[in-house]
């Protein structure tokens, strides 16, 4: 594919180049995938007001997220196993985001470690944290993030239990991949991916293996992980982490106005309206549908961000119009990474920026900080 014009082009190319188990891991939801699909389809129902005969010179997408200047109000979301979409994937994505002037968020369940990413970037990135029973491990993760100069901690609250993802079960997902006959045959058709993986030493969960007390290799990791997600997670734990961290804190996984009010009361700097990309509670509303009520409930007290279903710069603009101050992209940059490595992530960001800029202009605005519900038609000023 010589001409990449949209995120869908990157998706198709990634599907060709990434082994099935890792492509499916990125591009799937839980159970029937109804929430996963709604995350995208609900955006399509939100219509813009086109305006004409207004001055469109000197347009600007510059903004800030939690006080950090950004070239556009977009961040790369934390995604697990990013380094299995492409060799050294987290490093490549972080470098692309840094060059573009948008935040990169490293997942706890990354392949490249905090230290790996810090060694290959010059500016601070964000780190995403899961709450696990082993509090000493959490304390060490937080200290490692501080040592790496991470400028924000993104605390994910919606993974106390794991949603059932049928494709992962069928594919026998693992990192590195299980060498079954089916997986070997599939990988044989992905020579770019295989060559990349042969050329890197980073094939495991770099933040965990060798750092968690009882985890020295992949065989011990699975047993440790299955026992570690904390079913007793509470707002007291959020306060404990806030105190241990001491820096900018973002709470991810908020889908209810009451939880949003609790997030605002916790003293966090921002919350992310997110249903984990439709990978946890199937049958939940889309993130964009949940956004307006949460903005109305707490928008004046805490910065509101969102993720889930964003596939274009137009989707970014829709979310901004409904009150989000920052929008995260996960699958789009993973498609770019799987398709073309670092260049693909850069191309993803270029596409998002161009679509955001042009659509804002068609709506008659020159500054992204002026975007509000007035650019949407009638009923679209609320939830889809």
Residues with active-site annotation? 276
- Cβ atoms 241, 275 nearer than 8 A: no
Whether residue 274 is annotated as binding a ligand: the answer is: yes
What confidence tens digit (pLDDT) does each residue in 268-327 have?
Answer: 999 999 999 999 999 999 999 999 999 999 989 999 999 999 999 999 999 999 999 999
Report whether 128 belongs to an annotated binding site. yes
Task: Tell me which DSSP letter residue 250 carries.
Answer: E
Say how far apart CA 205 and CA 215 lie, in whole Å: 10
At 381, is the pLDDT very low, low, confident or very high (cuts 50, 70, 90)? low
- Tell me: is residue 170 an annotated ligand-binding position: no
Three-state secondary-structure class, residue 367: strand
Look up the pTM and report it. Answer: 0.95
Confidence bin at 161 (pLDDT 50/70/90): confident
Is 3.30.700.30 the CATH number for 7-381?
Answer: no
The residue whose two tokens read 């955001």 is: 356
Pairing of strands 74-76, 248-254: unpaired
* Residue 382 pLDDT class (50, 70, 90 cuts): low
Would you tell me how many other CB atoms lie within 10 Å of the CB of residue 236? 9
In angstroms, the CA 229 to CA 280 distance is 14
- The verdict on whether residue 299 carries a ligand-binding annotation is no
Q: Does 82 count as an annotated binding residue? A: no
Q: Is 20 annotated as a binding residue?
A: no
Q: Is the pLDDT of residue 330 over 80?
A: yes
DSSP 132: B
Q: Report residue 178 as tokens.
A: 């299980």
* Residue pair 94/125 in contact by the 8 Å Cβ criterion: yes
**Nearest CA-CA partner of 363 in 44, 6, 54, 71:** 54
Sign of the alpha-carbon dihedral angle for 51, 53, 54, 56: positive
């Amino acid at each position: 594919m010589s001409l990449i014009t949209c995120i869908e082009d990157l998706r198709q190319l990634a599907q060709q180049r990434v082994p099935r188990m890792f492509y499916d891991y990125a591009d799937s939801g839980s159970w029937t995938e109804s929430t996963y699909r709604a995350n995208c389809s609900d955006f399509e129902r939100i219509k813009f007001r086109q305006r004409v005969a207004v001055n469109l010179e000197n347009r600007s997408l510059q903004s800030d997220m939690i006080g950090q200047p950004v070239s556009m109000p977009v961040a790369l979301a934390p995604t697990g196993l990013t380094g299995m979409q492409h060799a050294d994937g987290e490093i490549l994505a972080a470098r692309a985001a840094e060059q573009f002037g948008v935040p990169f968020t490293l997942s706890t369940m990354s392949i490249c470690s905090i230290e790996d990413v810090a060694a290959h970037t010059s500016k601070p990135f964000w780190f995403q944290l899961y709450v696990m029973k082993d509090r000493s491990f959490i304390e060490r993760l937080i200290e490692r993030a501080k040592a790496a100069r991470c400028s924000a901690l993104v605390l994910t609250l919606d993974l106390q239990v794991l949603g059932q993802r049928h494709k992962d079960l069928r594919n026998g997902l693992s990192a590195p991949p299980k060498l079954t006959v089916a997986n070997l045959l599939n990988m044989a058709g992905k020579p770019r991916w295989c060559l990349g993986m042969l050329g890197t030493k980073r094939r495991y969960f770099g933040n965990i293996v060798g750092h968690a007390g009882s985890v020295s290799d992949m065989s011990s990791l699975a047993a440790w992980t299955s026992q570690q997600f904390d079913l007793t997670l509470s707002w007291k734990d959020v306060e404990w982490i806030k105190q241990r961290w001491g820096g900018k804190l973002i709470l991810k996984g908020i889908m209810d106005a009451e939880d949003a009010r609790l997030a605002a009361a916790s003293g966090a700097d921002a919350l992310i309206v997110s249903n984990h990309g439709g990978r946890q509670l199937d049958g939940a509303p889309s993130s964009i549908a949940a956004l307006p009520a949460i903005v109305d409930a707490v928008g004046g007290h805490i910065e509101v961000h969102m993720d889930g279903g964003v596939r274009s710069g137009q989707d970014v603009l829709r979310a901004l119009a409904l009150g989000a101050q920052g929008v995260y992209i996960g699958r789009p940059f993973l498609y770019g990474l799987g398709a073309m490595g670092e260049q693909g992530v850069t191309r993803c960001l270029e596409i998002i920026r161009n679509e955001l800029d042009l659509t804002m202009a068609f709506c008659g605005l020159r500054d992204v900080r002026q975007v509000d519900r007035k650019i949407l038609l009638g009923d679209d000023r609320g939830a889809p």
